[in-house]
Amino acid sequence: MNQDSQILFTSKTIGTVTIKNRFVRSATFENAANKDGSIGEEYIKIYEKLSKGEIGLIITGMIHTSDDGRSYHRQAGLHSDATIPGFSAMNETVHKNGCRIFAQLCHGGRQSMVLGLRPPAPSACRPDLTYRVYPRAMSNEEILFAIKTLAVGAKRAQKAGFDGIQIHAAHGYLISEFLSPYFNRRTDEWGGNPEKRFNLLKRVYESMREAVGSAYPITVKINIEDHTPKPGVTLEETAGYIQKLVHLGIDAIEISCGTVSFSLFNQCRGNVPVRALAKVMIKPIQPVTRFVLKREFPEEKYVFYENYNLWACNDIKPLMGNTPLILVGGLRNYESMEKIVREQKADFVSLCRPFIRQPMIVKNWRNGDIKKITCNNCNNCFGYLPLDESIQCNLNRDF
Protein backbone atom coordinates (compact mmCIF):
# COMPACT_ATOMS: atom_id res chain seq x y z
CA MET A 1 0.00 0.00 0.00
CA ASN A 2 1.55 3.31 -1.03
CA GLN A 3 1.52 6.42 1.12
CA ASP A 4 -1.23 8.13 -0.91
CA SER A 5 -3.59 5.29 -0.06
CA GLN A 6 -3.18 5.78 3.68
CA ILE A 7 -5.91 8.44 3.88
CA LEU A 8 -8.54 5.72 4.39
CA PHE A 9 -6.67 4.75 7.54
CA THR A 10 -6.51 8.22 9.05
CA SER A 11 -8.76 9.03 11.97
CA LYS A 12 -11.62 11.52 11.99
CA THR A 13 -14.10 12.62 14.62
CA ILE A 14 -17.87 12.42 14.59
CA GLY A 15 -18.93 14.80 17.30
CA THR A 16 -16.86 13.92 20.35
CA VAL A 17 -15.97 10.41 19.13
CA THR A 18 -12.79 9.59 17.21
CA ILE A 19 -13.17 7.00 14.46
CA LYS A 20 -9.84 5.26 13.74
CA ASN A 21 -10.33 4.99 9.97
CA ARG A 22 -12.75 6.10 7.27
CA PHE A 23 -14.62 2.82 6.85
CA VAL A 24 -18.21 2.53 8.07
CA ARG A 25 -20.34 -0.56 8.16
CA SER A 26 -23.63 0.85 6.96
CA ALA A 27 -26.65 -0.30 8.95
CA THR A 28 -27.55 -3.78 7.70
CA PHE A 29 -30.64 -5.43 9.15
CA GLU A 30 -29.33 -8.66 10.60
CA ASN A 31 -32.66 -10.36 11.56
CA ALA A 32 -30.88 -12.16 14.38
CA ALA A 33 -32.54 -10.93 17.60
CA ASN A 34 -34.89 -12.91 19.80
CA LYS A 35 -38.64 -12.55 19.23
CA ASP A 36 -38.93 -10.26 22.28
CA GLY A 37 -36.33 -7.84 20.86
CA SER A 38 -33.54 -8.93 23.18
CA ILE A 39 -30.23 -10.07 21.73
CA GLY A 40 -28.21 -13.18 22.32
CA GLU A 41 -25.24 -15.10 20.98
CA GLU A 42 -26.38 -15.15 17.33
CA TYR A 43 -26.70 -11.36 17.18
CA ILE A 44 -23.57 -10.61 19.20
CA LYS A 45 -21.46 -12.95 17.04
CA ILE A 46 -22.16 -10.80 13.98
CA TYR A 47 -20.84 -7.66 15.64
CA GLU A 48 -17.88 -9.42 17.25
CA LYS A 49 -16.82 -10.62 13.79
CA LEU A 50 -17.23 -7.16 12.26
CA SER A 51 -15.20 -5.54 15.03
CA LYS A 52 -12.39 -8.06 14.55
CA GLY A 53 -12.32 -6.89 10.94
CA GLU A 54 -11.16 -3.43 12.13
CA ILE A 55 -14.01 -1.39 10.62
CA GLY A 56 -13.73 2.10 12.08
CA LEU A 57 -17.43 2.60 12.77
CA ILE A 58 -20.11 -0.07 12.88
CA ILE A 59 -23.74 1.04 12.63
CA THR A 60 -26.20 -1.58 13.79
CA GLY A 61 -29.15 -2.81 11.83
CA MET A 62 -32.28 -0.86 12.70
CA ILE A 63 -33.42 -1.10 16.31
CA HIS A 64 -37.01 -0.39 17.28
CA THR A 65 -37.85 1.63 20.38
CA SER A 66 -41.54 0.72 20.82
CA ASP A 67 -43.82 -2.18 20.00
CA ASP A 68 -45.84 -0.02 17.60
CA GLY A 69 -42.65 0.96 15.74
CA ARG A 70 -41.43 -2.56 15.11
CA SER A 71 -41.07 -3.84 11.54
CA TYR A 72 -39.86 -7.44 11.77
CA HIS A 73 -40.24 -10.45 14.07
CA ARG A 74 -36.53 -10.78 14.81
CA GLN A 75 -35.72 -7.08 15.01
CA ALA A 76 -33.62 -5.96 17.98
CA GLY A 77 -35.24 -3.50 20.36
CA LEU A 78 -34.38 -0.80 22.86
CA HIS A 79 -38.04 -0.59 23.82
CA SER A 80 -37.38 -1.80 27.35
CA ASP A 81 -34.69 -1.45 30.00
CA ALA A 82 -34.56 -5.26 30.01
CA THR A 83 -32.74 -5.27 26.65
CA ILE A 84 -29.92 -2.97 27.81
CA PRO A 85 -27.66 -5.67 29.37
CA GLY A 86 -27.46 -7.67 26.13
CA PHE A 87 -26.38 -4.62 24.16
CA SER A 88 -23.93 -3.65 26.90
CA ALA A 89 -22.22 -7.01 26.63
CA MET A 90 -22.05 -6.70 22.84
CA ASN A 91 -20.65 -3.18 22.96
CA GLU A 92 -18.00 -4.20 25.45
CA THR A 93 -16.82 -6.87 22.99
CA VAL A 94 -16.79 -4.41 20.08
CA HIS A 95 -14.82 -1.86 22.10
CA LYS A 96 -12.25 -4.46 23.15
CA ASN A 97 -11.55 -4.95 19.46
CA GLY A 98 -10.92 -1.23 19.00
CA CYS A 99 -14.07 -0.29 17.07
CA ARG A 100 -16.80 2.28 17.59
CA ILE A 101 -20.45 1.37 17.30
CA PHE A 102 -23.60 3.47 16.82
CA ALA A 103 -27.17 2.28 17.31
CA GLN A 104 -29.50 2.93 14.39
CA LEU A 105 -32.90 3.76 15.89
CA CYS A 106 -35.99 3.42 13.76
CA HIS A 107 -39.78 3.52 13.77
CA GLY A 108 -41.00 1.24 11.00
CA GLY A 109 -44.18 3.12 10.12
CA ARG A 110 -46.07 1.46 7.26
CA GLN A 111 -43.18 -0.90 6.48
CA SER A 112 -44.04 -3.58 9.02
CA MET A 113 -44.60 -7.32 8.92
CA VAL A 114 -45.74 -7.54 12.56
CA LEU A 115 -48.39 -4.84 13.13
CA GLY A 116 -51.24 -6.42 11.19
CA LEU A 117 -53.15 -5.09 8.20
CA ARG A 118 -53.25 -1.41 9.21
CA PRO A 119 -49.80 -0.18 10.31
CA PRO A 120 -49.30 3.53 11.15
CA ALA A 121 -48.23 5.96 8.43
CA PRO A 122 -48.30 9.69 7.75
CA SER A 123 -51.35 9.23 5.51
CA ALA A 124 -53.74 6.50 4.48
CA CYS A 125 -52.52 5.23 1.12
CA ARG A 126 -53.15 2.45 -1.36
CA PRO A 127 -52.35 -1.11 -0.25
CA ASP A 128 -48.67 -1.93 0.02
CA LEU A 129 -48.01 -5.12 -1.94
CA THR A 130 -44.51 -5.62 -0.51
CA TYR A 131 -45.64 -5.77 3.12
CA ARG A 132 -49.23 -6.77 2.24
CA VAL A 133 -50.74 -4.03 4.40
CA TYR A 134 -53.17 -1.12 4.03
CA PRO A 135 -51.56 1.83 5.89
CA ARG A 136 -53.63 4.16 8.07
CA ALA A 137 -52.98 7.78 9.00
CA MET A 138 -51.45 8.38 12.43
CA SER A 139 -53.17 10.62 14.94
CA ASN A 140 -51.31 13.57 16.44
CA GLU A 141 -51.08 11.67 19.73
CA GLU A 142 -49.45 8.72 17.98
CA ILE A 143 -46.89 11.00 16.32
CA LEU A 144 -45.97 12.59 19.65
CA PHE A 145 -45.70 9.13 21.24
CA ALA A 146 -43.33 8.00 18.46
CA ILE A 147 -41.10 11.01 19.13
CA LYS A 148 -41.08 10.24 22.85
CA THR A 149 -40.23 6.56 22.43
CA LEU A 150 -37.38 7.32 20.02
CA ALA A 151 -35.90 9.75 22.54
CA VAL A 152 -36.22 7.23 25.37
CA GLY A 153 -34.61 4.64 23.10
CA ALA A 154 -31.70 7.02 22.53
CA LYS A 155 -31.16 7.28 26.27
CA ARG A 156 -31.21 3.49 26.56
CA ALA A 157 -28.63 3.28 23.76
CA GLN A 158 -26.40 5.66 25.70
CA LYS A 159 -26.81 3.58 28.87
CA ALA A 160 -25.98 0.42 26.91
CA GLY A 161 -22.60 1.84 25.91
CA PHE A 162 -23.18 2.69 22.26
CA ASP A 163 -20.81 5.43 21.10
CA GLY A 164 -23.58 7.32 19.32
CA ILE A 165 -26.89 7.10 17.48
CA GLN A 166 -28.03 7.11 13.89
CA ILE A 167 -31.62 8.24 13.28
CA HIS A 168 -33.03 6.16 10.43
CA ALA A 169 -34.72 8.74 8.17
CA ALA A 170 -34.24 6.79 4.93
CA HIS A 171 -35.55 3.78 2.99
CA GLY A 172 -39.27 4.35 3.50
CA TYR A 173 -39.56 3.86 7.24
CA LEU A 174 -41.60 6.31 9.32
CA ILE A 175 -39.38 9.41 9.37
CA SER A 176 -38.54 8.89 5.70
CA GLU A 177 -42.29 8.63 5.01
CA PHE A 178 -42.95 11.96 6.69
CA LEU A 179 -40.18 13.63 4.66
CA SER A 180 -41.61 12.34 1.38
CA PRO A 181 -44.51 14.00 -0.51
CA TYR A 182 -45.30 10.58 -1.98
CA PHE A 183 -46.16 9.10 1.43
CA ASN A 184 -47.07 12.25 3.34
CA ARG A 185 -50.35 13.83 2.15
CA ARG A 186 -51.08 15.61 5.42
CA THR A 187 -52.10 19.26 5.62
CA ASP A 188 -51.53 19.81 9.36
CA GLU A 189 -48.29 20.73 11.15
CA TRP A 190 -46.71 17.46 9.96
CA GLY A 191 -47.17 17.90 6.19
CA GLY A 192 -48.16 20.02 3.24
CA ASN A 193 -44.76 21.53 2.35
CA PRO A 194 -41.07 20.65 2.89
CA GLU A 195 -40.85 22.69 6.11
CA LYS A 196 -43.74 20.81 7.71
CA ARG A 197 -42.65 17.44 6.38
CA PHE A 198 -39.30 18.04 8.11
CA ASN A 199 -41.03 18.68 11.42
CA LEU A 200 -41.02 15.05 12.62
CA LEU A 201 -37.28 14.59 12.04
CA LYS A 202 -36.60 17.95 13.69
CA ARG A 203 -38.65 17.03 16.75
CA VAL A 204 -37.05 13.58 16.99
CA TYR A 205 -33.57 15.08 16.87
CA GLU A 206 -34.39 17.77 19.46
CA SER A 207 -35.98 15.23 21.82
CA MET A 208 -33.03 12.86 21.49
CA ARG A 209 -30.59 15.69 22.08
CA GLU A 210 -32.41 16.67 25.25
CA ALA A 211 -32.32 13.03 26.40
CA VAL A 212 -28.62 12.29 25.77
CA GLY A 213 -26.98 15.71 26.20
CA SER A 214 -24.89 17.90 23.95
CA ALA A 215 -21.73 15.74 23.88
CA TYR A 216 -23.26 12.48 22.64
CA PRO A 217 -23.11 11.98 18.86
CA ILE A 218 -26.40 11.93 16.97
CA THR A 219 -26.28 11.28 13.23
CA VAL A 220 -28.90 10.80 10.50
CA LYS A 221 -29.33 8.55 7.48
CA ILE A 222 -31.42 10.28 4.81
CA ASN A 223 -32.50 9.68 1.21
CA ILE A 224 -31.32 11.82 -1.67
CA GLU A 225 -34.04 10.26 -3.84
CA ASP A 226 -36.97 7.93 -3.09
CA HIS A 227 -37.43 6.35 -6.54
CA THR A 228 -41.16 6.01 -5.77
CA PRO A 229 -43.79 5.64 -8.55
CA LYS A 230 -44.70 9.32 -8.17
CA PRO A 231 -42.25 11.99 -6.95
CA GLY A 232 -40.98 11.58 -3.43
CA VAL A 233 -37.93 13.13 -1.79
CA THR A 234 -35.62 14.83 -4.30
CA LEU A 235 -32.05 16.01 -3.98
CA GLU A 236 -33.25 19.62 -3.82
CA GLU A 237 -35.49 18.90 -0.83
CA THR A 238 -32.85 16.76 0.86
CA ALA A 239 -30.29 19.55 0.48
CA GLY A 240 -32.66 21.83 2.35
CA TYR A 241 -33.19 19.22 5.07
CA ILE A 242 -29.43 18.74 5.43
CA GLN A 243 -28.87 22.48 5.85
CA LYS A 244 -31.45 22.49 8.63
CA LEU A 245 -29.87 19.46 10.31
CA VAL A 246 -26.41 21.05 10.24
CA HIS A 247 -27.86 24.21 11.75
CA LEU A 248 -29.50 22.14 14.51
CA GLY A 249 -26.15 20.55 15.35
CA ILE A 250 -26.28 17.08 13.81
CA ASP A 251 -22.93 15.29 14.12
CA ALA A 252 -22.83 13.48 10.75
CA ILE A 253 -25.09 12.62 7.82
CA GLU A 254 -25.19 9.46 5.71
CA ILE A 255 -26.89 9.75 2.32
CA SER A 256 -28.72 6.87 0.66
CA CYS A 257 -31.73 6.30 -1.63
CA GLY A 258 -34.80 4.16 -2.23
CA THR A 259 -37.62 2.67 -0.18
CA VAL A 260 -38.17 -0.96 0.69
CA SER A 261 -41.82 -0.93 -0.40
CA PHE A 262 -41.40 0.50 -3.88
CA SER A 263 -37.74 0.76 -4.79
CA LEU A 264 -35.61 -1.71 -2.84
CA PHE A 265 -33.59 -2.55 -5.92
CA ASN A 266 -32.94 1.10 -6.70
CA GLN A 267 -31.60 1.23 -3.15
CA CYS A 268 -29.21 -1.73 -3.53
CA ARG A 269 -29.00 -2.42 -7.30
CA GLY A 270 -27.89 -5.65 -8.92
CA ASN A 271 -29.72 -8.95 -9.29
CA VAL A 272 -33.39 -9.26 -8.27
CA PRO A 273 -33.42 -12.58 -6.34
CA VAL A 274 -36.94 -13.64 -7.29
CA ARG A 275 -36.42 -17.31 -6.43
CA ALA A 276 -35.18 -16.50 -2.93
CA LEU A 277 -37.92 -13.94 -2.28
CA ALA A 278 -40.67 -16.25 -3.52
CA LYS A 279 -39.82 -18.82 -0.84
CA VAL A 280 -41.89 -16.84 1.66
CA MET A 281 -45.01 -18.10 -0.16
CA ILE A 282 -46.37 -21.65 0.01
CA LYS A 283 -44.87 -23.92 -2.66
CA PRO A 284 -47.87 -24.13 -5.03
CA ILE A 285 -47.88 -20.38 -5.62
CA GLN A 286 -44.12 -19.78 -5.68
CA PRO A 287 -43.96 -19.98 -9.52
CA VAL A 288 -46.68 -17.33 -9.78
CA THR A 289 -44.85 -15.19 -7.23
CA ARG A 290 -41.63 -15.44 -9.23
CA PHE A 291 -43.47 -14.40 -12.39
CA VAL A 292 -45.02 -11.38 -10.66
CA LEU A 293 -41.70 -10.34 -9.14
CA LYS A 294 -39.95 -10.55 -12.51
CA ARG A 295 -42.65 -8.41 -14.06
CA GLU A 296 -42.70 -5.82 -11.28
CA PHE A 297 -38.92 -5.69 -10.81
CA PRO A 298 -37.25 -6.25 -14.20
CA GLU A 299 -33.51 -6.58 -13.67
CA GLU A 300 -32.63 -4.26 -16.54
CA LYS A 301 -33.97 -1.39 -14.41
CA TYR A 302 -31.53 -2.09 -11.58
CA VAL A 303 -28.19 -2.67 -13.27
CA PHE A 304 -25.43 -2.30 -10.70
CA TYR A 305 -22.81 0.37 -11.14
CA GLU A 306 -20.26 1.57 -8.63
CA ASN A 307 -20.71 4.61 -6.41
CA TYR A 308 -24.30 5.16 -7.51
CA ASN A 309 -25.00 7.85 -4.88
CA LEU A 310 -21.76 9.74 -5.47
CA TRP A 311 -23.44 12.11 -7.94
CA ALA A 312 -25.18 13.89 -5.04
CA CYS A 313 -22.00 14.70 -3.09
CA ASN A 314 -21.09 17.74 -5.19
CA ASP A 315 -24.35 19.37 -4.12
CA ILE A 316 -24.47 18.10 -0.55
CA LYS A 317 -20.90 18.38 0.78
CA PRO A 318 -20.52 22.17 0.34
CA LEU A 319 -23.63 22.68 2.50
CA MET A 320 -22.22 20.79 5.46
CA GLY A 321 -19.26 22.86 6.65
CA ASN A 322 -17.27 20.71 9.08
CA THR A 323 -20.06 18.17 9.58
CA PRO A 324 -18.90 14.80 8.21
CA LEU A 325 -20.61 13.25 5.19
CA ILE A 326 -20.89 9.45 4.99
CA LEU A 327 -21.42 7.98 1.52
CA VAL A 328 -23.04 4.59 0.90
CA GLY A 329 -24.12 2.96 -2.35
CA GLY A 330 -22.10 0.58 -4.50
CA LEU A 331 -18.62 1.31 -3.14
CA ARG A 332 -16.55 -1.64 -4.31
CA ASN A 333 -13.11 -0.44 -5.42
CA TYR A 334 -10.39 0.51 -2.93
CA GLU A 335 -8.74 3.08 -5.18
CA SER A 336 -12.11 4.69 -5.93
CA MET A 337 -12.93 4.96 -2.22
CA GLU A 338 -9.53 6.47 -1.54
CA LYS A 339 -10.14 9.06 -4.26
CA ILE A 340 -13.58 9.96 -2.86
CA VAL A 341 -12.09 10.74 0.55
CA ARG A 342 -8.92 12.38 -0.77
CA GLU A 343 -10.94 14.71 -3.01
CA GLN A 344 -13.29 15.46 -0.09
CA LYS A 345 -16.39 14.23 -1.87
CA ALA A 346 -17.21 12.48 1.40
CA ASP A 347 -15.46 11.99 4.74
CA PHE A 348 -16.34 8.33 5.28
CA VAL A 349 -17.07 5.43 2.93
CA SER A 350 -19.89 3.15 4.01
CA LEU A 351 -20.45 -0.44 2.89
CA CYS A 352 -23.23 -2.94 3.47
CA ARG A 353 -23.26 -6.14 1.39
CA PRO A 354 -19.45 -6.45 1.07
CA PHE A 355 -19.16 -6.85 4.84
CA ILE A 356 -21.66 -9.72 4.76
CA ARG A 357 -19.39 -11.49 2.30
CA GLN A 358 -16.00 -10.32 3.64
CA PRO A 359 -16.21 -8.99 7.20
CA MET A 360 -12.39 -9.02 7.52
CA ILE A 361 -11.54 -7.07 4.38
CA VAL A 362 -10.60 -3.77 6.08
CA LYS A 363 -8.08 -5.61 8.25
CA ASN A 364 -6.63 -7.20 5.12
CA TRP A 365 -6.37 -3.80 3.48
CA ARG A 366 -4.66 -2.28 6.50
CA ASN A 367 -2.11 -5.08 6.36
CA GLY A 368 -1.35 -4.14 2.77
CA ASP A 369 -3.29 -6.92 1.07
CA ILE A 370 -5.57 -4.96 -1.27
CA LYS A 371 -7.97 -7.78 -1.92
CA LYS A 372 -10.83 -7.12 -4.28
CA ILE A 373 -14.36 -7.01 -2.94
CA THR A 374 -15.94 -10.23 -4.18
CA CYS A 375 -19.60 -9.40 -3.55
CA ASN A 376 -21.27 -9.81 -6.94
CA ASN A 377 -24.50 -8.01 -5.96
CA CYS A 378 -26.64 -11.13 -6.37
CA ASN A 379 -28.78 -9.87 -3.46
CA ASN A 380 -29.64 -13.38 -2.35
CA CYS A 381 -28.68 -12.25 1.16
CA PHE A 382 -32.04 -10.43 1.31
CA GLY A 383 -33.91 -13.67 0.63
CA TYR A 384 -33.35 -14.87 4.17
CA LEU A 385 -35.24 -11.99 5.80
CA PRO A 386 -38.83 -12.88 4.85
CA LEU A 387 -38.12 -16.40 6.18
CA ASP A 388 -37.12 -14.99 9.60
CA GLU A 389 -33.57 -16.26 9.12
CA SER A 390 -30.53 -14.13 9.90
CA ILE A 391 -28.89 -12.43 6.95
CA GLN A 392 -25.97 -14.23 5.37
CA CYS A 393 -24.08 -14.67 2.13
CA ASN A 394 -24.51 -17.95 0.27
CA LEU A 395 -20.75 -18.02 -0.30
CA ASN A 396 -19.79 -17.15 3.28
CA ARG A 397 -21.70 -19.18 5.84
CA ASP A 398 -19.46 -18.07 8.69
CA PHE A 399 -20.72 -14.50 9.09
- Residue pLDDT, tens place only, 103-160: 999 999 999 999 999 999 999 988 887 888 999 999 999 999 999 999 999 999 999 9
The pLDDT-based confidence of 273 (bands split at 50, 70, 90) is confident
Q: By the 8 A CB rule, do 203 and 197 touch? A: no
Tell me the DSSP string of 304-359.
--TTTTGGGHHHHGGGSTTS-EEEESS---HHHHHHHHHTTS-SEEEESHHHHH-T
Q: What is the CA radius of gyration of the chain?
A: 20
Q: How far apart are CA 311 and CA 19, in angstroms?
A: 25
At 103 the pLDDT is 99
Cα–Cα dist 10/288, whole Å: 51
The residue with greater pLDDT, 392 or 345, is: 345
**Which run of H or E residues covers position 137?**
strand 136-137
Smallest Cα–Cα separation from 14: which of 341, 346, 324? 324
The per-residue pLDDT for range 315-355, each reduced to its tens digit, is 999 999 999 999 999 999 999 999 999 999 999 999 999 99
Residue 384 has pLDDT above 80, yes or no: no
Residue 31 near residue 75 (C-beta atoms within 8 A): yes
Structural domains in the chain, sorted by start: 3-269+304-387 (3.20.20.70), 272-301 (no CATH)
Q: Is pLDDT above 60 for 19?
A: yes
First to last CA, the chain: 27
| CA quadruple 11, 13, 17, 19: dihedral, nearest 10 | -30
- In 3D space, the residue among 96, 81, 99 whose CA is nearest the CA of residue 37 turns out to be 81
Cα–Cα distance for residue pair 219/102, rounded to 1 Å: 9
Q: pLDDT, tens digit, for every residue of 60-78?
A: 999 999 999 999 999 999 9
Q: Would strands 12-14 and 17-19 be described as parallel, antiparallel, or unpaired?
A: antiparallel
pLDDT of residue 2: 53
Q: How many other C-beta atoms are found inside a 10 Å radius of the C-beta of residue 281?
A: 14
Residue 397 pLDDT class (50, 70, 90 cuts): low
pTM of the model: 0.96
